[in-house]
Each structure stands twice: as C-alpha cells, then as structure tokens.
Amino acid sequence: MSSAAGEPLFAVDGLRVEFWTSRGNIYAVNGVSYAVNPGDTLAIVGESGSGKSVSALAALGLLPRAGRVVAGSAKYQGRDLVRLSDRAMRSLRGKDIAMIFQDPMTSLNPVLTIGRQIREALQTHLDLSKSEALSRTADLLDRVGIPSPKARLKDYPHQFSGGMRQRAMIAMALACEPKVVIADEPTTALDVTIQAQILELLRELVTERGTALILITHDLGVVAGMCERVNVMYGGIFVETASAKQLFARPRHPYTLGLLQSVPRLDAARGGRLHPIPGAPRNMLSPPSACPFQPRCRFEVDLSRQEVPPLVEVERGHAVACFNPVPEDEWARDRAEVVAG
C-alpha cells in the first residue's frame, strides 16, 4: 500500500526528541531511523528510559506537554507526521496508525463501559449508525477471543481481568483496521501465561491483515518469538539493528550481548551466575558526545569517549554502532560455557 514506488509505508528518519524540564533539557531520542512495510514486524528493544516509547509517541504526536520533536521526520505514506496539523494527525491516529499501551489496567477509562470505548474508536473515524457500530464492536470482541461478546459490551473495565482488558485494548486499536500498529510493551503488565496468548493474538491479527507491527519491549523472549527485525536502543540511539536471527546468533554490540547475558537460562548449569550489566543507564541531561554505553562497557576503546559511533553494517542487514564490536563468536562461546557450568 506504499504510495510511491520504493517508499516505505512508515518511515522514521533522524528523529530527535527533547523534553524541556526545570532541570534542563532531557535528550530522550537522539536521531533514530527505521522503516516498516506492510506485514513487517519490527522490535525496538531497550531498557526503561532508553527512549523507545518516546520515539513512538513522538511519531504519533502524543508527546507530553514538555516534549518537542526537534529534528527528523516520521513519514506515513509519504506524509510527514511531525509537520502535520493537529486535525490531520487526529484523523490518522487510530485509523491508519494505532497504538497499544503497556498497562491495560489504567489505559481503559474506569467509568465507561468496554463497549462504549471500542465504539468510540469506530465512530471517531467511520460514519456508522449506533447499531452498526455496536454489532461491529461485538464482532471485534469476539475476534480478540472474549466469550459472549454481546453481553460483555455492557461491562466496565473493573469487571475484566488483565488479559481480557488487554484483549479489549487490542480490539480498540484494531477497530479501524490500521496499516501500522505500535504496541508499547503490550505484555509487561500481564502474567506469563497470558503474555503468550496476547502475543499469539497480536501475531495472528497482524499477519491476517498484513498490518505492519512495531513492538516496543525490553523482553528479548518476546522479540525472539514475534519479530523479523530488531533494533536495540540505548541512550536515545540505535546501537544495533539486525534480523532477529542474526541478533540472537551473533550479537555484535556490547550492550546487546549484556542484555542477552542477563536473561536467565533454563539450560544453564546449576550454580551458574547471571551477568548483569554494571552501572546505571545514562542520564539524558546532555546530548550524547561519545558512545552512550561507554561508561558501562568492557569493550570500550579510546575513540568511544570521543565520538558517537555511527551505525555501520557488519554483514548484510546487520549494523552496529560500535568502534570495537564484540567478536562474532563471543555469544556462542559464552552460551556453551554457561550450559557446561
């Protein structure tokens, strides 16, 4: 469905976001670029405060008051969302690009019924009569796996469990069949057993409609099961971009390696230790002038302190922003050691 030949459906280019606070500017996103086409699944992975959610909110014009996009663009079918008027942006939001939020407990309005909230999503963009909208709402609830959807329309959010609320949120986001769905940590607030169901549902829905999915998460397990491509974010920039296969086989950025090493493994030998990444995330009160990960990095070189490393391709479709990338076989060796004990 891309408008011009070769132009991606949704492309973020050189996006920079700052927050103006009383403590000074916070440089939350410092130039990130990515693109998705229909049917793509892209993961943006990073820890809290790495700027992953902010970059998505900025693209949709949903930044909090203090936030500003200071550079870059977010193009949907060739139209730059950053420069779009509020009215034009509003007509795109929910209809062409939808978002699913982290906490279904707080993302649904407690005083309105589930049906009323999903219907609002439909009627905001589509010219439907109330009865048409109601029957479509029931269909949507049915589609996301909520039993006896007609009766459930009249329920309030507190009568739904966490998993069901997230299903309702997904129904709301997919109501107008958007072309791009941004899911911001959609399973973080849920039980592990429910997480799997929600992810499965999301994957089904996006594949059957050819929707492009951007999944924002800190959970590498979720990424492995869901996404074709992964962008790892740290300190407001992408430090590594690769296909999921490449990333999990040969992580090249020290931060990615650290993330993988801090995930507990079921096949690890008894008494084996996890390797957390030492130090704390970078404070974002200044723009990066060196590699943002340098203070926590055991692979740092002199150049790491002097310049921001650019993303450089190390193999086809796999780029790393590092002056001294991790050796290709480091992760494989590490895993073998962990299993052997």
14 sits in the region (left: phi over 0; alpha: psi -120 to 50; else beta) called: left
Q: Is the dihedral angle over the CA atoms 88, 94, 98, 100 positive or is it negative?
A: positive
Min. distance of Cβ 269 from other proteins in angstroms?
A: 33
Radius of gyration of the chain measured on its C-alpha atoms:
21
Which CB sits closer to other proteins, 209 or 335? 209
Which CB sits closer to other proteins, 60 or 216? 60
Min. distance of Cβ 277 from other proteins in angstroms?
A: 29
Q: How buried is 273 (Cβ within 10 angstroms: 0-12 exposed, 13-18 middle, 19+ buried)?
A: exposed
Which CB sits closer to other proteins, 204 or 337? 204
Other Cβ atoms less than 10 A from the Cβ of 329: the count is 11
What does the buried/exposed string (b/e) look like for 249-261 if buried means 16 or more CB atoms within 10 Å of the residue's CB? ebbbbbbbbbbbb
Which CB sits closer to other proteins, 7 or 191? 191
Q: What is the Cα–Cα distance from 73 to 59, expressed in whole angstroms?
A: 8
Which CB sits closer to other proteins, 106 or 262? 106
> To which H or E segment does residue 242 belong?
strand 237-243
- Tokens 């209809």, located at residue: 95
Which CB sits closer to other proteins, 182 or 326? 182
What size, in residues, is the chain?
341
Q: What is the DSSP letter of 2?
A: -
Min. distance of Cβ 206 from other proteins in angstroms?
A: 17
Q: Would you state the torsion angle of the CA atoms of residues 212, 215, 216, 221, taken in this order, to the nearest 10 degrees?
A: -160
The one-letter amino acid code at 248 reads F
Min. distance of Cβ 291 from other proteins in angstroms?
A: 33
Min. distance of Cβ 190 from other proteins in angstroms?
A: 12
Q: With beta carbons less than 8 A apart as the criterion, state whether 215 and 222 touch.
A: yes
Min. distance of Cβ 96 from other proteins in angstroms?
A: 10
Min. distance of Cβ 23 from other proteins in angstroms?
A: 19
The one-letter amino acid code at 64 reads P
Min. distance of Cβ 159 from other proteins in angstroms?
A: 6
Which CB sits closer to other proteins, 43 or 168? 168
Which CB sits closer to other proteins, 160 or 255? 160
Interacting residues with other proteins (CB under 8 A): 60, 62, 64-65, 90-95, 98-99, 101, 103, 106-113, 117, 120-121, 124-125, 145-148, 152, 154-156, 158-161, 163-164, 167, 169, 172-173, 175, 193-194, 197
The closest alpha carbon to 168, from 225, 216, 219, 101, belongs to 101
Beta bridge partners of 233: 238
Beta bridge partners of 35: 11
Q: How buried is 281 (Cβ within 10 angstroms: 0-12 exposed, 13-18 middle, 19+ buried)?
A: middle
